[in-house]
Each structure stands twice: as C-alpha cells, then as structure tokens.
Amino acid sequence: MKNEIRDNIRELVIKYYEEYHVDKKEYMEGDRIQYSGRIYDSDEMVNLVDAALEFWLTAGHYVEEFEMGLAEFLNIKHCTLVNSGSSANLCAFMALTSSKLGDRRINKGDEVITVAAAFPTTVTPIIQYGAIPVFLDVTIPDYNIDINRLEEARSKKTKAVFIAHTLGNPFNLQYIKDFCDKYNLWLIEDNCDALGTEYFYNGEWRKTGTIGDLSTYSFYPPHHITLGEGGAVCTNNTQLFRLVNSFRDWGRDCWCASGVDDTCKHRYTQQFGELPLGYDHKYVYSHFGYNLKPMDLQAAVGCAQLKKLPKFVAARKRNWKYLKENLKCVEDFLILPEPTPNSAPSWFGFLMTVKKNAGFTRSQLAQYLEGKNIQTRNLFSGNFIKHPCFDEMRKTRIGYRVVGDLSNTDIIMNQSLWIGVYPGMNQKKLEYMVKTIKEYVNTYKYQEA
C-alpha cells in the first residue's frame, strides 16, 4: 500500500509539472531574457517530493548519492556537500588553518595570494580568520590573475593561493600549480562558476577543481546546476576531506557519517585535550566549527540535476561560441572574451569590456540592454577593495596588501559587463541579444563615420 501511494504521488507530481511548470509560451522578441536561471523538469520535482515523503530532512542517502555523483563526474576522491557556495569557500579555507596540518597550517597574519576582481566570498574567509589577502591584478581578455606578478607577491608569510576561474574561464593552472608546488603553498580552486571546465595539465585533460588541493562549488540557481541553495568542497586529500567535514559539522573530531556511531571502533578509549579519558568521541571538538550541513531535500534535487550536467555544459559552450562569432563585428568598440590557452571552458557568462574610446560607457550600454529586456551583470565586485566593507582597512592600510596598481581590475570595475549563456537560451534569444548589441554599437559607428 505504501509503495502504491508513493507511485500515485509521483504520477501526480509529473502531471502537475506538465500542467503548471512547463513553459508553453513561445519566446517573442522583446520578452525578458534572464542572464541565467533554473533548468529543470519533473525529475527534480519527483525527487524533491520523494525526499519530503521520507522526511529525513537532514543529510541522508540523497546527500551521499550526490557527493558520490559529483566526485565521479570530476574524477576526484572526496566530495563534501554544504549549504552554499559561500560555506564551501569558508570550509575549504578553514580546513587549511587546522593545527593538524603542522607547519603548513595557515596562521593568523599569514598571507594568501588572491585577486580583487573577485566575488566577495573568495576573499572574506581570509579576512575573517585574520590572515592577509595579497591582491594581484588580472589580465584582459581572459580576466584571470596576472601570473607575471606571482613571484613579486610571494613573501616568507605566504601559505596559499585562493582564486576563482572567472566566469568559467580557468586561470593558468599549469603555471600556478607549479608555482605552488615550488614553494610548498596550498592551492584552492574556486570552481563555483566553472563546473565542467577542462584544462590540459601535465599532458592530459583534467576537469578544473581536480588540480588544486581543494576546490569549491556553488549550486545557487544561476549556476551550472542548482540545488536551490548549496555548495560543495572537493579534494583528493583524505586529511583535508576530514578537516572540511569537521568545520562543516560543528568542529567535531569524530568523522562518522550522520546517524552512524563508532566507525573508528575507539569511541570510548581515547584521550583528547583535558577531557576525561574515554570521553565520547562523538562529542569531542577539535576545531571552532559551524553547522553548514545541507538538507536531503536539496541533494534530492541535485541528484536529478547531475544527470543533466553534460548537456548543460554543452549548451553553455555552444551559446558562448555563437555570441563570440556573431559579435566580432563590434570589436572596435568592445573587448570580447578569450579562453585561456589549453582550456575548454564551461562558460558561466559572456563578458565584454567597453573600450575607452568607444563613445559610450558601460553603464549606458547596460541601461540600453536592460531597457530592451536583456538582463546584464557586472563582474561581481569589480574591485573588491573599493567597497564599503574595506573602508576601515583602507584608512589604515592594515589587513591586506596590494601588488601593482590593479589597473585592469579598475577597468573591469568601470567598463565591463556580461550577459548570459545558460542552457535556457534558445536561438531566438541569442539572435535578439546579438541584434540589440549591434544596433546600439552601430549608432556610434555611424556617428564616428
């Protein structure tokens, strides 16, 4: 009877999806074009309802299935699901502060190389912990870290490099990983915008997120796949995997899975700190951690999304290629993006920089596109150190270091914007975006003539 009722519910969910969630409206020129959004069908809704019927709620078998599935997709050993991409960055960074890493741990006052042209949560954990971010400029048109300044940026206090693959375009992984290996530095790949990107590393194609010591992911709705909210940390290093789990799970020393006891078979036989001998290992805390665990409801959606990921990646590549090929005619006015050599990006967006002599500004172009119902975005924080959260730090120049003048970062802050390439784009939407950009640029081309 129970299975029969569940089967009936699943059938009703499918019927509900087909009746109320399938967008039957054909796109008409001028309809709103989002830069990104959820792509789903009845599979996600059935999984979500199935998890609700089980009512386990916290991390359960769907979380385990998702972690195994993402690890398999990436070809990496370990995956830890968390409640957001920001939490993923926090857990990944905090894992490197653990005393269990000995001399390689990041201490307060140690330095971490990063960029200011970043999403805040790549930098925030460094500052919140009390380490020192060292900001480098980026290069255009790949919009990734300027590797020529790495040696200058390194000091005796440098312990790690923590940077993102910008809008799916990977930074020079070969050079940066070699640099990290040379000086025994940790490398965290913020892979939140690059799930599915590949890079030719040491003679073989590898997915980004598998080359650094740790990698992070976000599953917020605009990303390559969505769990509604959610993120992940991946690694091939078992010690780092357990440290990530510790910081995610209240800082506990025990590494048993949720709902499981005494995996190590020494639950009541060990000595920790000044606790009594044999204190229950389940309640021993080796770190000041958090509760950043996901819900099984989220993971249930993610399990369905993972099956669609290869098609999503292919669509993003195809849409980006169309925009690049059909906007070449406006390169006198706009700098178009270029993929990093030896890479096959799984693009998050199509980034353009308005040239200084274009005759119009980024804001004017953005307002025109928004007025034509084409959603645009700036490249996240532009120059993060110019935001209000840095006001006090800027006054004292204490708490961070800048190498160079960040001139390209300022160009991005003032002149760059991007539009979407997500799988929800169809040919008519792509054509309309190209047509609209050309129309706007051509008004200035004819004025110039």
Tell me the pLDDT tens digit for each residue of 155-169. 999 999 999 999 999
Supply the pLDDT for residue 382.
97
Answer for the pair 332, 80: CB distance below 8 angstroms, yes or no.
Answer: no
Radius of gyration of the chain (CA): 23
- Give just the sign of the alpha carbon dihedral 302, 308, 310, 315: negative
pLDDT at 223 > cutoff 60: yes
pLDDT band (50, 70, 90) for residue 437:
very high
Amino acid found at 218: S
pLDDT at 406 > cutoff 80: yes
Supply the pLDDT for residue 395.
85
Tell me the pLDDT tens digit for each residue of 275-303. 999 998 999 999 999 999 999 999 999 99
Distances (CA, A) of 448 to 131, 268, 336, 359, 434: 51, 80, 21, 9, 21
* CA dist., res. 255 & res. 263, Å (int): 8
Catalytic residue among 78, 165, 223, 224: 223
Supply the pLDDT for residue 446.
57
- Conformation bin of residue 171: beta by default, left when phi > 0, alpha when psi is -120 to 50: beta
pLDDT band (50, 70, 90) for residue 243:
very high
Q: What is the DSSP string of 51-91?
A: HHHHT--BS-HHHHHHHHHHHHHHT-SEEEEES-HHHHHHH
Q: How many CB atoms lie within 10 A of CB 309?
A: 18
pLDDT at 396 > cutoff 80: yes
Q: C-alpha dihedral over 321, 163, 137, 134, to 10 degrees? A: 180
Supply the pLDDT for residue 448.
52
Supply the pLDDT for residue 262.
80
223 has catalytic annotation: yes
Span 82-109, mean pLDDT?
98
pLDDT at 449 > cutoff 50: no
